[in-house]
Amino acid sequence: MSKAKIVYICSLRNATADQAGQYIEYKEQQRYMKSPLEYLTEALNETSLGLSYSLEAVIYDDDADSPRDREKLAGYGFRREQGKKWIYPQGLAVQGRALDDLLQPIPSTYRRHAKGTPEHIAGKRDFEARLLARLNELDADLVVLDGLLVILDELVRPGAAYHRRIVNIHPGITRLESPYERRGAWATLDALYGARGEKVVDWTTKETVAVEPLRMTGASFHYVDNGIDSGEVIVDVLKTEIDPEDTILELRWNNFNYSLFPALHQGLTLMAGRLRKAA
């Protein structure tokens, strides 16, 4: 049976905020910050996932004409450049193909405009149309989102071509019934506050209230719907212990290695079976 084709969609802004591809300070030592993309590449090369999947493209939504995006990516750039950092090691290949050659920009240019404006609404629609056209060209079987801070609409509605074919790997537990539930862009920081016995009630002002400390967090691999990390959970892993003295990067490193990478691997294994049944 032929391999299922994966298209991976990410935000370089998110990866560079994690200092992906670099050594970070960790408890007075240094540890390498491997990104989920680098982990996936290694898994396709070295584990049985490579028998089920091929990685066809890595799409990123960063906007090279946006001053805000250029500022956030200043140390990295939008592609590998001489003398700049990059989010994974030079020469990294996946299943015999250079990972650099699979990178493709589809910029979410609508982010230049204020939410709710006609330009933002029309631009968002155009972004999804461009993304849909590219996914169709690539004949994608499964789309994996990583750190894409975009709420998809038409692509994931029931009856849409990619309904239940787009999944997300999230650095937090997304089940509402779980006491460890952490949705949204602030999931890791939310967990760190929680380990310190605080709950942020306003992310603009960082106003907090006292809560019972929770010193665990995890990761979820879930279907993407029209909400924020609200899709049906395929698999989640709760194996990251939190030291209240952790920095945000120390906690990110721990959560990637103890929860998120296992959730990504287990989720793709389960999806391989579902895709075979659907074929």
pLDDT digits (tens, 9 = 90+) for 136-185: 999 999 999 998 988 898 899 999 999 999 999 999 999 999 999 999 99
Residue 183 lies in a domain: no
pLDDT digits (tens, 9 = 90+) for 219-252: 999 999 999 999 999 999 999 999 999 999 999 9
CB-CB contact of 219 with 171 (8 Å): yes
Q: Which domain range does residue 67 map to?
A: 4-174+217-278
Residue 114 lies in a domain: yes
What's the CA gap between 246 and 43, in Å, rounded? 28
What's the number of domains the chain is made of?
A: 1
Report the CATH number at residue 222. 3.40.50.170
Residue 193 lies in a domain: no
Residue 207 lies in a domain: no
Residue 16 lies in a domain: yes
Residue 146 lies in a domain: yes
pTM: 0.96
Pair type for strands 93-94 and 23-26: unpaired
Residue 206 lies in a domain: no
pLDDT digits (tens, 9 = 90+) for 185-204: 999 999 999 999 999 999 99
pLDDT class of 1 with cuts at 50, 70, 90: low
Amino acid at 115: K
Using the predicted structure, report yes or no on whether residue 277 has a pLDDT greater than 90: no
CA-CA distances (angstroms) from residue 41 to 56, 63, 118, 139, 276? 11, 24, 39, 20, 22
What's the CA gap between 120 and 40, in Å, rounded? 33
Residue 211 lies in a domain: no
